[in-house]
Amino acid sequence: MHGMEKSVDMKIIHTSDWHWGGRLHDQDRYAEHEAFAEWLKDLLRREKPEALVVAGDIFDTCAPSNRAQAGYYSLLAEIYKEELCRAVVVVGGNHDSPSMLNAPAQALVHLKAWVIGEIDAGNPAGEVVLVPDATGKPGLAIAAVPYLREGDLRRDEAGDAEADRTAKLQEGFRAHYAHVAALAREAAGPGVPLVLTGHLNLSGATLSDVRSERALRIGNLGAMPAALLPRADYYAFGHLHTPQALGGHDCCRYSGSPLPMSFAEAGQAKSVAVVEFGSKAGDPVMVRLEEVPVFQRLEPVQGSPDSVSARLRELVAAQASVWVEVQVTTGAGDLGPLWNSLPGLVEGSAVQILAQQDGRPQARPDGARGAEVIGLEQLTPLDVFRMRLADDSSLSDEERQWLPALFAEVLKSVQEADAQRE
């Protein structure tokens, strides 16, 4: 294969985890998402890539608002109208409704947008997208694998031990990726670069905020070893919000979310990846990051009641437009006076306090430190279900293993039915 010529260089832009329609505490983020869409179009105009690859979590929920859907579809239409690239490839993430993403897929192909919301076990070739070069020949093959659920990779069998379950999941994961990658290479022909997508958690990756990423288990899958993946020229991943190259390999990358998804990500540089493939098989793949502007500044304000108040006064005096999460971490006594004073401290300014929390270590009778208080809005239904299972001493270890998978499938069916009714 090495030495076989392609006609021209190829370029893609890799992004993920838009979470369109998401909220930060009770604050909507439509203005930020719309500003990101404008910035992304400007980047496409400058870079003139052959493809835009979006690696999952287009929306924040399975039933996104009309405004969130309108923003997404308008962006696809404008990219097509301006001919900003030859293909947009979108794969579903764990926050997305597969049926909602897939519903317009046949129409979106006419806008040169290929959407794969979930796998079709009977048609794995449906996850293969060939991007043409300037001559119309295949210039890039994309194995567009979406978020994988446990049910996509294995079937329950009575008596399966945890080790057997894990082995079957890993084998199903390996086999699916290997099959789709082989189909993509066969369809494209020799010498054509292969891009492999995924919305997943891989061993060794860095989490920025477990609560916002919900990455300990995704689709009831634990972190998968990267060694299970087939060879590819570039790996375009989504799900983790911190931009990162896995294992230091630039061509195996999480693009990260374009917006900070929690205050734990405030100040984190956000980016999309611009990936260029050489004109000959074996040429090095060049990756550079384009930093996404900060469309809305976030700041966690932590410390004693006095230091929190002082910092808020500084932000107001600086006329900063900033969303704030207040957390008292030191000091003693009743925080009622502080909470009552906060609205007056920021009144008439561009500083908005979105959340406040007593984060001080609280002494318990056993002398242990107090646990962090997590609001219900930070938990998924599956999180709550797992917590309930952990509190039920009547359950066996085996039941605790398989009940979450069953609950997740039932929840998925209910959410998709609700979305279709809307």
pLDDT one-digit tens code per residue, 39-61 = 999 999 999 999 999 999 999 99
Residues 271 and 330 in one domain: no
| DSSP element (H, E) containing 142 | strand 138-143
Closest to 278 in 3D by CA, of 97, 10, 91? 10
Q: 374, 392, 408: which is the final residue of a domain?
A: 374
On whether residue 2 sits in a domain, the answer given is no
Q: 276, 291, 306: which is the final residue of a domain?
A: 291
Q: How confident is the model at residue 5 (pLDDT cuts 50, 70, 90)?
A: very low
Q: How far apart are CA 173 and CA 200, in angstroms?
A: 11
On whether residue 5 sits in a domain, the answer given is no
On whether residue 141 sits in a domain, the answer given is yes
Residues 109 and 225 in one domain: yes
Q: Are 14 and 291 in contact (CB under 8 A)?
A: no
Segment among 75-84, 120-129, 142-151, 377-386 with least mean pLDDT = 377-386
Residues 402 and 315 in one domain: no
On whether residue 125 sits in a domain, the answer given is yes
In CATH, what number is assigned to the domain containing residue 35?
Answer: 3.60.21.10
Overall size of the chain counted in residues: 422
Q: How confident is the model at residue 156 (pLDDT cuts 50, 70, 90)?
A: low
| DSSP element (H, E) containing 213 | helix 210-213
Give yes or no for residue 369 having a pLDDT over 90: no
On whether residue 308 sits in a domain, the answer given is yes
Residues 31 and 133 in one domain: yes
Q: How far apart are CA 6 and CA 186, in angstroms?
A: 16
Residues 137 and 241 in one domain: yes
Segment among 36-40, 41-45, 302-306, 365-369 with least mean pLDDT = 365-369
Give yes or no for residue 379 having a pLDDT over 60: no
In eight-state DSSP terms, residue 369 is P
Range of the domain at 306: 297-374
In CATH, what number is assigned to the domain containing residue 322?
Answer: 3.30.160.720
pLDDT in tens, 90-116: 999 999 999 999 999 999 999 999 999
Q: Is 89 helix (H, G, I), strand (E, B) or coil?
A: strand
pLDDT computed for residue 328 by the predictor: 94
Residues 285 and 309 in one domain: no
On whether residue 213 sits in a domain, the answer given is yes
The stretch 30-37 carries a mean pLDDT of 98
* Separation of first and last alpha carbons in the chain: 51
Strands 23-24 and 252-254: unpaired
Q: 272, 291, 310: which is the final residue of a domain?
A: 291
Q: How confident is the model at residue 9 (pLDDT cuts 50, 70, 90)?
A: confident
Q: How confident is the model at residue 294 (pLDDT cuts 50, 70, 90)?
A: very high
Q: Are 202 and 247 in contact (CB under 8 A)?
A: no
Residues 271 and 356 in one domain: no
Neighbours of 70 (CB within 10 A): 13
Residues 287 and 324 in one domain: no
On whether residue 184 sits in a domain, the answer given is yes
Instruction: Name the H helices within 336-396.
Output: 336-346, 381-391
Residues 187 and 114 in one domain: yes
pLDDT computed for residue 1 by the predictor: 34
Residues 163 and 217 in one domain: yes
Q: How confident is the model at residue 400 (pLDDT cuts 50, 70, 90)?
A: low
Residues 329 and 183 in one domain: no
pLDDT computed for residue 208 by the predictor: 59
Residues 123 and 149 in one domain: yes
On whether residue 4 sits in a domain, the answer given is no
Domain total for the chain? 3
